[in-house]
């Protein structure tokens, strides 16, 4: 390829016709890869996120092995929170925050940091990755959405019922709004920094689908997501918004200004495309299909490729991150199936 701008992935995000569907998978640099586990045997998850050379190596691994059509920088959605004075500890399984945020004092103790200073290793890693990929593979930057970050900050880690987050929402919504606004500023700065460092596209991850009433999503979450997406528009870098479990909110999500919407596997892609008119879509294979037979992987991947032709652009992906036990041969079958599919036939 002469120019990265003409790659399949970016052309699809711009809605330009291509003869095949690009593919990458969420969490593609991860535990299902033996070479990733090899790196992790020598370095903690936390240090991996903060060491540009190592982060670059694991970002390149899945491209090297499978030839995915896009790379996503290795990092964690919680990484930028460390620079805000809320470092998560990953050493005991899931992420853990020593002092979860519960009141205004906690929230106001969070530090804002100027765009590049708080997490210098992220920009450095992006520059290394761009150098490594050259004009061959586009690089995706990302951030967690303010609401997803807020849920970790308030719960102090992962959660099943989101008790503390919801207690705040349903008793002190103005306080939650203050936190979301603060995180919104930070996330926008963080993504602008990534663009400046060289990423070719950005994805905003909202992984908490199905926990809010649509009216609350509309009042509390949608405005801050809109502000972030709007704040990135002038950069010209394509913006992907992935809201897991978005089916009940598609009519709201569709009002956002961005190039592409991630779609999870609980939605029929044809219906989602109709509900998100004029946009590129990304998705939407159930990650667990990779545990099934090769026939099922092929049949379901092809069905999604065909459905995706109805959108201005389609980037093949899983409907959520790939799981640690996903078998390598299944990923190979998936990539081959999607890359061999010819559009318009």
292: which DSSP letter?
A: S
Provide, rounded to whole angstroms, the least separation between the CB of residue 274 and a second copy.
12
Provide, rounded to whole angstroms, the least separation between the CB of residue 205 and a second copy.
17
Q: Which of 265, 281, 305, 318 binds a second copy (CB under 8 A)?
A: 265
By C-beta, is 42 or 160 nearer to a second copy? 160
Euclidean distance between CA atoms 102 and 93, whole angstroms: 23
Euclidean distance between CA atoms 33 and 183, whole angstroms: 32
109 binds a second copy (CB under 8 A): no
Question: Residues binding a second copy: what is the number (CB under 8 A)?
Answer: 34
Torsion angles phi and psi, residue 196, rounded to 5: -60, -35
Q: β-strands 239-243, 260-262: how paired?
A: parallel
45-84 residues near a second copy, rule: CB under 8 A: none
Q: Which of 55, 220, 289, 338 binds a second copy (CB under 8 A)?
A: 289
Q: Which of 3, 215, 236, 344 binds a second copy (CB under 8 A)?
A: 215
Place of tokens 């050379």: 53
By C-beta, is 41 or 171 nearer to a second copy? 171
Beta strands in the chain (DSSP E): 71-72, 88-89, 96-97, 139-144, 201-206, 239-243, 260-262, 280-285, 314-318
Would residue 264 show up in a list of annotated catalytic residues for this protein?
no
Q: Is the CB of residue 102 less than 8 Å from the CB of residue 164?
A: yes
Q: Is the CB of residue 146 less than 8 Å from the CB of residue 203?
A: no
- Span from 25-33, 50-58, 116-124, 243-251 in contact with a second copy (CB under 8 A): 243-251
* Size of the chain in residues: 345
Provide, rounded to whole angstroms, the least separation between the CB of residue 334 and a second copy.
12
- Span from 41-49, 60-68, 286-294, 331-339 in contact with a second copy (CB under 8 A): 286-294
**306-311, long-range: CB within 8 Å, 24+ apart, which pairs?**
307/268, 307/269, 307/270, 307/273, 308/21, 308/269, 308/273, 308/281, 309/343, 309/344, 310/270, 310/273, 311/273, 311/276, 311/279, 311/280, 311/281
Q: Which of 3, 53, 117, 161 binds a second copy (CB under 8 A)?
A: 161
Q: β-strands 260-262, 280-285: how paired?
A: parallel
Report helix, strand or coil for 320: coil
Tokens (6 digits) for 145: 């959405």
Would residue 105 show up in a list of annotated catalytic residues for this protein?
no
233 binds a second copy (CB under 8 A): no
Provide, rounded to whole angstroms, the least separation between the CB of residue 310 and a second copy.
16
Would residue 27 show up in a list of annotated catalytic residues for this protein?
yes
Site string for a second copy, 113-152 (x = CB under 8 A): ----------------------------------------
Rg (CA), the chain: 19
Tokens (6 digits) for 56: 């670059």
Give the active site residue among 31, 65, 227, 306: 31
- Number of other CB atoms surrounding residue 91 within 10 Å: 9
219 binds a second copy (CB under 8 A): no
Task: Report in angstroms the alpha-carbon separations of 94 from 152, 157, 158, 300.
Answer: 11, 7, 7, 31
Provide, rounded to whole angstroms, the least separation between the CB of residue 92 and a second copy.
18
Give the active site residue among 32, 36, 50, 152: 152
By C-beta, is 142 or 265 nearer to a second copy? 265
Torsion angles phi and psi, residue 137, rounded to 5: -135, 125
Provide, rounded to whole angstroms, the least separation between the CB of residue 125 and a second copy.
29
Provide, rounded to whole angstroms, the least separation between the CB of residue 145 and a second copy.
17
Q: Give the residue numbers annotated as catalytic, written as ranges.
A: 27, 31, 40, 76, 152
Contact footprint for a second copy (CB under 8 A): 161-163, 166-167, 169-171, 209-215, 245, 247-248, 265-268, 271, 286, 288-289, 291-293, 296-297, 300, 323, 325
């Amino acid at each position: 390829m002469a120019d990265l701008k003409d790659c399949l992935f970016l052309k699809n995000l711009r809605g330009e016709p291509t003869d095949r569907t690009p593919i990458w998978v969420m969490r593609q640099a991860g535990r299902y890869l033996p070479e990733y586990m090899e790196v992790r045997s020598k370095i903690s998850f936390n240090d991996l996120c903060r060491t540009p050379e190592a982060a670059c190596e694991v970002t390149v691994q899945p491209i090297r092995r499978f030839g995915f059509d896009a790379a996503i920088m290795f990092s964690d959605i919680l990484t930028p929170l460390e620079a805000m004075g809320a470092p998560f500890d990953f050493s005991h399984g899931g992420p853990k925050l020593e002092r979860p945020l519960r009141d205004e004092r906690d929230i106001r103790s969070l530090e804002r940091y100027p765009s590049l200073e708080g997490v210098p290793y992220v920009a450095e890693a992006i520059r290394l990755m761009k150098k490594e990929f050259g004009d061959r593979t586009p690089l995706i930057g990302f951030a967690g959405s303010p609401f997803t970050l807020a849920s970790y900050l308030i719960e102090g880690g992962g959660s099943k019922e989101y008790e503390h987050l919801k207690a705040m929402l349903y008793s002190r919504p103005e306080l939650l709004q203050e936190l979301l606004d603060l995180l919104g500023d930070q996330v926008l700065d963080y993504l602008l920094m990534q663009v400046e460092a060289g990423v070719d596209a950005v994805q905003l991850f909202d992984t908490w689908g199905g926990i809010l009433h649509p009216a609350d999503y509309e009042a509390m979450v949608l405005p801050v997501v809109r502000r972030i997406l709007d704040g990135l528009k002038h950069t010209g870098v394509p913006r992907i918004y992935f809201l897991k479990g978005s089916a009940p909110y598609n009519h709201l999500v569709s009002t956002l200004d961005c190039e592409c919407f991630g779609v999870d596997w609980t939605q029929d892609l044809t219906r989602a495309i109709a509900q998100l008119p004029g946009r590129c879509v990304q998705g939407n294979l159930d990650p667990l299909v990779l545990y099934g037979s090769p026939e099922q992987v092929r049949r379901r991947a092809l069905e999604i490729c065909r459905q995706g032709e109805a959108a201005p652009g389609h980037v093949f992906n899983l409907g959520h991150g790939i799981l640690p036990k996903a078998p390598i041969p299944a990923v190979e079958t998936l990539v081959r199936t999607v890359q061999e599919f010819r559009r318009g036939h």
